[in-house]
């Protein structure tokens, strides 16, 4: 069977392509943004990539076309599919029908932390010999690949970990992706207003999260932070599943007592009893919450907290999540997949607590997510950069709002219109050393390698 995927280099669609290939299907796909790491991963799997959307890409007629949610009517390849009456469906529907239908699904939902928490949970299961299948919106470095059907034909555990995204499924299916997945174990990490291009307000997102809650069986489990009022609002709409809460320095069933302020060491408590201490390289309270959720989910399928804690001690974070690219002449250069002001704030807070008040932090931000491109979070975006001594914002020509508005709310922000001018500025700043955090959920004009070369 030949499957052709439109939007194949997206993190979700790329992972789906890998799974389809592992199932023995012939897989091809097209995208307008073909760049590493996803393009490299796909090519290594023997998947044919086509750069750009064209009707000619379908000259060899596939048995099925899977259409990504970034594509819409007017796209030449979409129009060819419709005009020729080719068989098509959304990625989440295909995954649900062909992969998840007979699995114990552990779904990780929330505005932030889905990729990291999914990676932690997958690694805990792997560490304990469960060899799970997974589909994650990034590349967890413990595995080196973003998706797999399972850990091998000789050991089909039946567990599948999936990053459960609230974004819509396709132009012809406006339900959130996660409604298709029907998890038995569900992590609801947090909930904030995001995806302003498809959700008019926070209440619209809450309704989609409640659709997810409606699909979780009564014998399943929901895991959520005790203090997240938006998640609590969703559960108050109706909940038919047991809920276990998490907290930091609090009183929830699952609680983390911080032993270091930066979150690099904390005791895991269950009903007031210590289960062990996580001592790892990650920082930030957001990652402590992620870890607690992963430990709780693993406990639901029978993995003891002490064993999950041992696994997290060997956890390597996801590619592009505060990934150290290089240390050059006193400058440590990080790559962080920032997509929302809260993610920026928690990441910089964790770094500040790790390196101390005397170290210089320079944040370099490309506002590339749909929500940030629309200027929805102007004031909160400015304030999210408070822990940086200097915040450099990239204003590309096609951005819909003027980033100079940010300077009304903070005095550490400078705006630049080109990658070249940013690199020139950073070369000057590099003389004083420090921690340079490149924050974007895209390729950022190739600045990652270019800056290393210049430094």
Q: Give ranges for CATH 3.40.1190.10 in the chain.
A: 102-312
Least confident of 18-32, 175-189, 241-255, 434-448: 434-448
Mean pLDDT of 257-276: 96
Distance CA 283, CA 293 (A): 16
For the chain, state the CA radius of gyration. 22
Query: How do residues 101-123 score in pLDDT, each as one tens digit?
Result: 999 999 999 988 899 999 999 99
The mean per-residue pLDDT over the stretch 34-55 comes to: 86
Percent of the chain with pLDDT over 90: 69
Q: Mean pLDDT over residues 265-269, rounded?
A: 97
Strands (E), 315-354: 323-328, 331-336
| 254 vs 316: which has the higher pLDDT | 254
CA distance 159 to 301: 9
Q: Which residue has the tokens 């983390």?
A: 256
Instruction: Name the residue with higher pLDDT: 236 or 404.
Output: 236
Which of the pair, 216 or 329, is modelled with greater confidence? 216
Q: What percent of the chain has pLDDT over 70?
A: 96
Q: If residue 169 lies in a helix (H) or strand (E), which one and from where to where?
A: strand 168-170
Q: Are 14 and 47 in contact (CB under 8 A)?
A: no
Q: Which residue has the higher pLDDT, 158 or 138?
A: 158
Mean pLDDT of the 37-66 span: 91
Asked whether the predicted pLDDT for residue 154 surpasses 60, the reply is no
CATH number, domain 2-90: 3.40.50.720
Residues β-bridged to residue 30: 6, 50
* Residue 135 burial (C-beta neighbours within 10 Å; 0-12, 13-18, 19+): buried
Report, as an integer, the average pLDDT of 27-53. Answer: 87
Q: Who has greater pLDDT, 7 or 34?
A: 7
What single string gives the DSSP state of each residue in 276-319? EEEE-S--SHHHHHHHHHHHHHHHHTT--HHHHHHHHTT--PBT
| Region(s) of the chain under CATH 3.90.190.20 | 323-454
C-beta separation of 435 from 334 below 8 A: yes
Query: What span, in angstroms and rounded, lies between the C-alpha atoms of 255 and 93?
Result: 36
Using H for helix, E for strand and C for coil, what is the string for 83-145? HHCCCEEEHHHHHHHHHHCCCEEEEEECCCCHHHHHHHHHHHHHHCCCCCEEECCCCECCCCC
Whether the CB-CB separation of 159 and 80 falls below 8 Å is answered with no
pTM for the model: 0.82
Q: Identify whether the C-beta of residue 103 lies closer than 8 Å to the C-beta of residue 159.
A: yes
CATH number of 102-312: 3.40.1190.10
Range of weakest confidence among 29-43, 146-160, 332-346, 400-414: 146-160
Residues of the chain with CATH 3.40.50.720: 2-90
Phi-psi region of 35 (alpha: psi -120 to 50; beta: other; left: phi over 0): beta
User: What confidence score (pLDDT) does residue 295 get?
Assistant: 98
Q: Tell me what pLDDT residue 373 has.
A: 62
The 10 Å Cβ neighbour count of residue 32 is 12
Residue 70 token pair: 């970034």
Looking at residue 283, what is its pLDDT?
87
Q: Are 196 and 369 in contact (CB under 8 A)?
A: no
Check residue 323 and give left, alpha or beta (phi > 0: left; psi -120 to 50: alpha): beta
Helix and strand tally (H, E) in the chain? 14, 23
| pLDDT, tens digit (0-9, with 9 covering 90-100), for 143-153 | 888 899 986 54
DSSP characters for 368-380?
-SHHHHTTTTHHH
Q: What is the pLDDT of residues 190-230, one digit of tens each?
A: 898 776 677 888 899 999 999 999 999 999 999 999 999 99
Please give the pLDDT value at position 374. 61
Distance CA 436, CA 417 (A): 19
**Is residue 389 within 8 Å of 358, Cβ to Cβ?**
no
CB atoms under 10 Å from CB of 20, counted, come to 26
Mean pLDDT for the stretch of residues 314-327: 85
Mean pLDDT of the chain: 91
Question: Is residue 440 scored above 80 in pLDDT?
Answer: yes
Distance of CA 221 to the CA centre of its chain: 22
- pLDDT average, residue stretch 398-420: 88
Q: How many angstroms separate the CA atoms of 198 and 213, rounded?
A: 20
Give the residues across from 100 on adjacent strands: none
Task: For the sheet with 331-336, list strands across it.
Answer: 323-328, 331-336, 434-439, 361-365, 390-394, 413-416
Instruction: Report the SS3 class of residue 200.
Output: coil
| pLDDT value at 155 more than 50 | no
| 3-class secondary structure, 155 | coil
Please tell me which residue, 231 or 340, carries the higher pLDDT value: 231
Architecture of domain 323-454: Alpha-Beta Complex (3.90)
C-alpha angle with apex 263: 258 to 267, nearest 5 degrees? 40
pLDDT at 254 over 50: yes
List the structure tokens of 406.
């940010």
């Amino acid at each position: 069977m030949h499957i052709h995927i439109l939007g194949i280099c997206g993190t979700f669609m790329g992972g789906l392509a890998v799974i389809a290939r592992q199932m023995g299907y012939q897989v091809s796909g097209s995208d307008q943004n073909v760049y590493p790491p996803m393009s490299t991963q796909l090519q290594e799997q023997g998947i044919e990539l086509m750069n750009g959307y064209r009707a000619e890409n379908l000259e060899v007629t596939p048995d099925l076309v899977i259409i990504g949610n970034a594509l819409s009517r007017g796209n030449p390849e979409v129009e060819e599919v419709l005009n020729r009456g080719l068989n098509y469906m959304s990625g989440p529907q295909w995954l649900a029908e062909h992969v998840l239908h007979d699995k114990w699904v552990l779904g990780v939902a929330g505005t932030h932390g889905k990729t990291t928490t999914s990676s932690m949970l997958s690694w805990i299961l792997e560490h304990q010999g469960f060899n799970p299948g997974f589909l994650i919106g990034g590349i967890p470095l413990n595995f080196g690949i973003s998706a797999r059907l399972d850990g091998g034909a000789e050991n089909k555990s039946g567990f599948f970990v999936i990053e459960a995204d609230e974004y819509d499924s396709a132009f012809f299916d406006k339900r959130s992706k996660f409604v298709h997945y029907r998890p038995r174990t569900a992590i609801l990490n947090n909930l904030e207003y995001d995806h302003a291009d498809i959700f008019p307000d926070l209440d619209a997102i809450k309704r989609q999260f409640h659709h997810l809650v409606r699909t979780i069986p009564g014998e399943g489990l929901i895991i959520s932070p005790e203090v997240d009022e938006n998640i609590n609002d969703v559960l108050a709409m109706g909940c038919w599943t047991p809920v276990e809460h998490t907290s930091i320095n609090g009183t929830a069933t699952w609680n983390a007592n911080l032993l270091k302020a930066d979150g690099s060491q904390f005791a895991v408590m269950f009903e007031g009893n210590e289960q062990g201490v996580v001592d790892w390289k990650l920082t930030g309270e957001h990652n402590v919450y992620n870890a607690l959720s992963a430990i709780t989910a693993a406990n639901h399928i029978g993995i003891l907290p002490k064993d999950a804690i041992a696994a997290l001690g060997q956890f390597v974070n996801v590619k592009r999540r505060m990934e150290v690219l290089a240390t050059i002449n006193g400058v440590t250069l990080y790559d962080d997949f920032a997509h929302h002001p809260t993610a920026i704030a928690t990441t910089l807070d964790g770094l500040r607590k790790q390196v101390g008040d005397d170290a210089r932090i320079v944040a370099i931000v490309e506002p590339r997510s749909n929500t940030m491109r629309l200027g929805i979070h102007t004031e909160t975006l400015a304030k999210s950069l408070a822990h940086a001594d200097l915040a450099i914002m990239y204003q590309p020509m096609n951005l819909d709002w003027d980033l100079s508005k940010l300077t009304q709310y903070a005095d550490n922000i400078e705006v630049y219109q080109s990658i070249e001018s940013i690199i020139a500025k950073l070369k000057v700043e590099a003389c004083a050393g420090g921690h340079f955090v490149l924050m974007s959920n895209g390729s950022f004009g190739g600045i990652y390698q270019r800056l290393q070369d210049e430094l």
